[in-house]
Each structure stands twice: as C-alpha cells, then as structure tokens.
Amino acid sequence: MKEFGIYTGLRAGLFAVCFGIMWVVLRSWLSIWPIALLALVVSSILSIFVLRAARDRLAGKIETRAAKISSRLEQARSAEDDD
C-alpha cells in the first residue's frame, strides 16, 4: 500500500527533523535518550496537524479496501444461501 509507506516515511522524517533541532539546541543539557523521547512526543503532536492530508488519504484507502472486502463477503454469503 503506497499511502502507508508515504505516511510512515513522513512520520519518520518529521521525527528526524524534530530530533535534529532538539539535538542542536539541547545537547549540552540532556543526553541522547531524553532528547529522543522529547522529539518523539513533539513529532507525534505535530503529525496530528502537519500530516493530516496524508493520514486522510491513507484512511480513505483503508476504507475503500474494507468496503471491497465486505462486499465480497456479502456476495459469498448470499451465494451460499442460494445453494
């Protein structure tokens, strides 16, 4: 699923940018693990707003696939009832 790969890459990129900025700013006060955790929290919050369009495309693709699967199951169920 192309949309999943794009969204995951964007999330990873956003984390990398947050980590890089925080590393430059906070490296003299904090070690790498607190900076990584802080970057994870900040990038998660930012992704809600920044990556909304990519997330909506992914959700639409998942919804379309789920509808197709439900349709196939319903067809199979109705064909089974006819027998």
Contacts of residue 30, defined as CB under 8 A and 6 or more positions apart, other chains included, come to 38
Contact call for residues 10 and 34 (beta carbons, < 8 A): no
Give the total number of structural domains in the chain.
Answer: 1
Which range of residues forms the domain containing residue 76?
2-82
Q: What residue type is assigned to position 57 of the chain?
A: R
Looking at residue 30, the DSSP 8-state letter turns out to be: S
57: exposed, middle or buried (Cβ count in 10 Å: 0-12, 13-18, 19+)? middle
Q: What is the pLDDT along the chain (83 residues), one digit of tens a residue?
A: 799 999 999 999 999 999 999 999 999 999 999 999 999 999 999 999 999 999 999 999 999 999 999 999 888 888 776 65
